[in-house]
């Protein structure tokens, strides 16, 4: 009897343990952190409201009390009628800048984490949760609620298939200090079925205590780029690249003083294709020097902007980063254009005074040293990748080398590029070639066509004849340049499009100059290169253009913009009555100087708008 009772007792215990082991692993936990940004402090903590500098707050910014914000975790299911419905798994609110939500789930499921800031605004992010999952997210509370961001914190586990999983983790404590918020974002360049360029997102992670961890799935070897963004600091940036494949693992660390991040892996493809140039001493030296020069450059820019702001002479543009356009004024001080040095006028244009040709806006600036060093480092990368591609039979190595930059326009060996593309078309699966290489081949062809336009632009300088054209206006009446030139001393030919804001920004000044000098023999011919007549027509009527307004509808590759070497807009030529180009690419302010020189100072008062 005692033996029997002992057996029953053991059976009960085993049953209870089995029950516990089958239920407990189904539990998941999601912990949220509220991180506040405060312009008066540089400290932060994930357990208390964080104080960090905000670069985006404005006088019109609005803030929301996030202590009352509602947090929910939901996922989509299909009901019996085949309809998608949303099921809430858990909900709650922040208490003392954190929230903990729990539930049970049978299998890995993609969920939506949502924070309702107010009745009109909800920020969301996605996560993958399953039995035993522990997920952390952070809500970054900006001074301007329109800039609040929600993302996973420290770790992002998005891998579903163990056979396809790759892992990238890193320790960036030496570049991400305790007083900084930094986000690392992982992407890959792709082309869709229509051949349109797109970006595949693997997820972004808010770096936690200097560390991050990402897991995701990949079907085939792919170049993954990652970029570190420092919130509140638009001048600091770091980035890196990895050749990921299923079951590959990567470790990311900082690389000396440059903005490159070192990615190491036991993956053969990554070691061959990335570490080959990334660990090159000459490459690293140029990137180190580039970063040092960049810091000096922007420190000088900031000091100059501050001085000008204090004098009240500068307006700040909100929509552009300082690194988007970094011209450095040439200290040469010459008024004549470099394009005409040693040049001679063509037959019929001998009268053009080439010594009086004003430099274009692009000639007034020189490339900053840090850009030059970056280009030199990039050339080392390209040369290394091309050598690898030309000396291997492995089609995947060759494809990935191309995707990393081999045979790139401006830097690459174009002589061998198309031979390699032809070989890969035969060696790669047709699906892989169509998705990944053919779009790059097409892009390279477009760059080569652009180079042809560049050569036209270089040759079409003051002292040369302007190409003649006959184009329709909005009433479909043909306007012929030759007829315009017969009745005018100077004709300003300006290319534009309805979508070109810099073009439209010149209209007020051009309107003033036109009203001032049209009676003296000055004419403006505006040539639209819009893709559709309706776009040109609508913009023309909106801006009420007073001058000759014609179009070569279809974009940059139509006959007239090609003949004039138009690679960008606005693009302008000043032509005299003989059809000779006398100035090129003049900003309205410089155009006015030329007009004053030709016609003298105007005594009439004309409104600019």
CATH of the domain at 115: 2.60.40.1120
Q: Would you call 341 helix, strand, or coil by DSSP? A: coil
What is the distance between the alpha carbons of residues 398 and 388, in angstroms, rounded to a whole number?
7
Q: Has residue 56 got a pLDDT over 50?
A: no
Q: What is the CATH number for 230?
A: 2.60.40.4150
476 with 589, same domain? yes
Tokens of 486: 């017969």
Q: Has residue 501 got a pLDDT over 70?
A: yes
**Dmax over Cα atoms in the chain, in whole Å?**
125
Tokens of 268: 């053969």
pLDDT at 400: 97
Which range among 148-152, 328-332, 569-573 shows the weakest confidence by mean pLDDT?
328-332
In a domain, 354, yes or no: no
Which range among 159-168, 176-185, 428-437, 536-545 shows the weakest confidence by mean pLDDT?
176-185
Looking at per-residue pLDDT, the higher value among 321 and 501 belongs to 501
The residue among 96, 126, 153 that closes a domain is 153
Q: Would you call 555 helix, strand, or coil by DSSP? A: coil
Tokens of 509: 């000044």
Mean pLDDT confidence for 194-223: 93
pLDDT at 263: 93
User: Treating both helix axes as pointing N-terminal to C-terminal, what angle do 395-403 and 414-427 enclose, rounded to 10 degrees?
Assistant: 130
393 with 497, same domain? no
180 with 149, same domain? no
500 with 591, same domain? yes
Mean pLDDT confidence for 494-505: 93
In a domain, 348, yes or no: no
Per-residue CA distances from 546 to 87, 485, 507, 543, 578 (Å): 60, 18, 10, 9, 24
pLDDT at 493: 95
Looking at per-residue pLDDT, the higher value among 451 and 276 belongs to 276
124 with 165, same domain? no
The residue among 267, 299, 316 that closes a domain is 267
pLDDT at 326: 44
Query: Mean pLDDT in the chain?
Result: 83
Mean pLDDT confidence for 571-597: 91
162 with 253, same domain? yes
pLDDT at 604: 55
pLDDT at 483: 93
Tokens of 595: 């007009």
What is the distance between the alpha carbons of residues 378 and 405, in angstroms, rounded to a whole number?
9
234 pLDDT tier (thresholds 50, 70, 90):
confident
179 with 159, same domain? yes
User: Total structural domains in the chain?
Assistant: 4
In a domain, 385, yes or no: yes
Return left, alpha or beta for 164; rule: phi > 0 is left, psi -120 to 50 is alpha, else beta.
Answer: alpha
Closest by CA position to 98, among listed 143, 139, 42: 139
517 pLDDT tier (thresholds 50, 70, 90):
very high
383 with 488, same domain? no
What is the distance between the alpha carbons of residues 529 and 527, in angstroms, rounded to a whole number?
7
* Residue 418 CA from chain centroid, whole number: 28
What is the distance between the alpha carbons of residues 105 and 109, in angstroms, rounded to a whole number?
8
Tokens of 188: 């890959």
pLDDT at 609: 43
Q: Has residue 605 got a pLDDT over 50?
A: no
Q: Yes or no: say if 77 and 87 are a contact pair by the CB < 8 Å rule.
A: yes
Q: Yes or no: say if 495 and 571 are a contact pair by the CB < 8 Å rule.
A: yes
Q: Yes or no: say if 355 and 336 are a contact pair by the CB < 8 Å rule.
A: yes
Looking at per-residue pLDDT, the higher value among 144 and 64 belongs to 144
In this predicted model, what pLDDT tens digit does every residue of 341-381 receive, in sequence order?
A: 556 888 889 898 888 787 765 555 578 899 999 999 999 99
Boundaries of domain holding 381: 370-459
130 with 175, same domain? no
User: Treating both helix axes as pointing N-terminal to C-terminal, what angle do 414-427 and 369-390 enclose, rounded to 10 degrees?
Assistant: 40
The residue among 246, 267, 288 that closes a domain is 267
148 with 28, same domain? yes
119 with 189, same domain? no
393 with 381, same domain? yes
pLDDT at 46: 41
In a domain, 113, yes or no: yes
Q: Yes or no: say if 93 and 67 are a contact pair by the CB < 8 Å rule.
A: yes
Closest by CA position to 305, among listed 208, 409, 235: 235
For the residues of 494-526, what is the DSSP string, one character each?
Answer: EEE-TT-HHHHHTHHHHHHHHHHHGGGTEEEEE
């Amino acid at each position: 009897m005692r033996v029997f009772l002992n057996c029953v007792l053991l059976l009960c215990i085993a049953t209870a343990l089995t029950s516990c082991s089958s239920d407990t692993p189904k539990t998941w936990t999601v912990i949220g952190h509220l991180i506040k940004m405060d312009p008066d402090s540089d400290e932060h903590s994930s357990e208390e409201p964080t104080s960090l500098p905000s670069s985006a707050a404005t006088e019109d910014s609005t803030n929301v009390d996030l202590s009352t914000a509602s947090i929910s975790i939901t996922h989509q299911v299909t009901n019996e009628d085949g309809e998608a419905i949303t099921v809430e798994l858990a909900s709650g609110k922040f208490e003392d800048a954190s929230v903990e939500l729990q539930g049970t789930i049978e299998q890995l499921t993609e969920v939506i984490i949502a924070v309702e800031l107010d009745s009109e605004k909800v920020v969301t992010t996605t996560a993958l949760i399953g039995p035993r999952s522990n997920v952390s997210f952070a809500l970054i509370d900006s001074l301007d609620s329109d800039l609040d961001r929600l993302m996973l914190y420290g770790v992002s586990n998005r891998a579903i298939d163990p056979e396809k999983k790759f892992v990238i983790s890193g320790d960036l404590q030496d570049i991400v200090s305790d007083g900084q918020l930094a986000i690392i974002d992982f992407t890959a360049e792709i082309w869709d079925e229509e051949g349109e360029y797109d970006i595949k997102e693997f997820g972004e992670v808010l770096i936690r205590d200097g560390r991050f961890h990402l897991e995701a799935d990949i079907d085939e070897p792919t170049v993954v780029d990652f970029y570190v963004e420092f919130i509140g600091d638009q001048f600091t940036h770091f980035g890196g690249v990895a050749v990921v494949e299923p079951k590959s693992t990567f470790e990311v660390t900082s690389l000396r003083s440059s903005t490159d991040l070192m990615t190491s892996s036991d993956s053969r493809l990554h070691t061959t294709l990335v570490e080959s140039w990334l660990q090159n001493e000459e490459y690293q030296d140029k990137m180190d020097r580039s970063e040092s020069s960049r810091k000096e450059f922007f420190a000088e820019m900031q000091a100059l902007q501050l001085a000008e702001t204090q004098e009240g002479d500068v307006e700040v543009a909100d929509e552009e980063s300082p690194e988007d356009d970094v011209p450095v004024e040439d200290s040469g001080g010459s008024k004549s254009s470099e394009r005409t040095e040693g040049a001679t006028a063509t037959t019929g244009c001998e009268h053009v005074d080439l010594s009086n040709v004003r430099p274009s806006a692009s000639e007034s600036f020189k490339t900053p040293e840090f850009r030059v060093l970056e280009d030199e480092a990039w050339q080392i990368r390209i040369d290394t990748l091309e050598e690898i591609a030309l000396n291997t039979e492995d089609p995947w190595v060759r494809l990935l080398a191309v995707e990393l930059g081999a045979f790139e326009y401006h830097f690459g060996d174009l002589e061998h590029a198309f031979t390699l593309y032809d070989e890969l078309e035969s060696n790669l699966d047709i699906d892989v070639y169509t998705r990944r290489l053919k779009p790059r081949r097409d892009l390279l062809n477009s760059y080569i066509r652009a180079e042809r336009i560049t050569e036209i632009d270089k040759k079409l300088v003051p002292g040369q004849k302007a190409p003649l054209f006959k184009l329709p206006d909005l009433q479909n009446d043909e306007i012929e340049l030759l007829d315009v030139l017969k009745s005018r001393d100077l004709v300003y030919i300006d290319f534009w499009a309805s979508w070109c804001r810099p073009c439209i920004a010149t209209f007020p000044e051009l309107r003033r100059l036109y009203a001032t000098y049209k009676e003296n023999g000055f004419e403006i011919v505006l040539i639209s290169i819009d893709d559709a007549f309706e776009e040109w027509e609508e913009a023309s009527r909106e801006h009420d253009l007073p001058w000759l307004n014609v179009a070569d509808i279809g974009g940059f590759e139509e006959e007239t913009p090609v003949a004039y070497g138009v690679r960008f807009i606005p693009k302008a030529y000043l032509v005299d009555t003989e059809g000779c180009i006398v100035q090129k690419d003049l900003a309205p302010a410089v155009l006015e100087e030329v007009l004053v020189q030709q016609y003298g100072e105007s005594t009439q008062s004309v409104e600019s708008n």
